[in-house]
Amino acid sequence: MSETTEPGSPQVGGIVLGSTDPRRLWEWYRDVFAPGQGRDGAEDGGPVRHLRLGGTHVVFEARDDVGRKSVEPGRVLVNFEVTDIRAMEKRLNAQLNPRWIRPVEAVDEHVLLGTLEDPDGNYVQLCDTTDDGTPA
């Protein structure tokens, strides 16, 4: 995806995922997207945890105004750009056995997409692109 920033335009600084169990959700996202990160902050028992992925903070917050599972999981998809989506798919299947909503597939010759479900029922989209003219 190309990056364009208009002068003075806002930038997404973070994504907040409200949950009845933010620790479980944080652990899942850490295991998926930052498996090398330690468990720093996991034992503090606080209601808010976060990961910094790329230039964005993903915040996991305890909330009493959400249910255990998302009612409309396709309403908002968080799209994560990854490299080597096939290797990631293999690792996730071996370690987490996630529910794939959309298996990893080519949407054109330069883009591979896959959509999986997080523990709260939210849809998470993985995207692997090549902008250099080589097939994905």
pLDDT grade, residue 42 (50/70/90)? Answer: very low
Average pLDDT of span 46-53: 84
Q: What is the pLDDT of residue 40?
A: 54
pLDDT grade, residue 55 (50/70/90)? Answer: confident
Q: What is the mean pLDDT of the chain?
A: 87
Cα separation, 104 vs 53, in Å, equals 21
Q: Which residue has the higher pLDDT, 55 or 99?
A: 99
Q: Exposed, middle or buried, 121 (CB in 10 Å: 0-12/13-18/19+)? A: middle
Q: Exposed, middle or buried, 114 (CB in 10 Å: 0-12/13-18/19+)? A: buried
Secondary structure of 79-90 in the HEC alphabet? EEECCCHHHHHH
Cα separation, 79 vs 136, in Å, equals 17
Q: What is the pLDDT of residue 80?
A: 93
Q: What is the pLDDT of residue 43?
A: 46
pLDDT tens track for 83-97 = 999 999 999 999 999
CA distances (Å), origin 54, targets 80, 82, 94, 109: 9, 10, 25, 25
Q: Which residue has the higher pLDDT, 37 or 135?
A: 37
Secondary structure of 21-78 in the HEC alphabet? CHHHHHHHHHHHHCCCCCCCCCCCCCCEEEEEECCEEEEEEECCCCCCCCCCCCCCCE
- C-beta of residue 10 within 8 angstroms of C-beta of residue 53: no
Least confident range from 25-29, 40-44, 75-79: namely 40-44
- C-beta of residue 115 within 8 angstroms of C-beta of residue 96: no
pTM of the model: 0.83
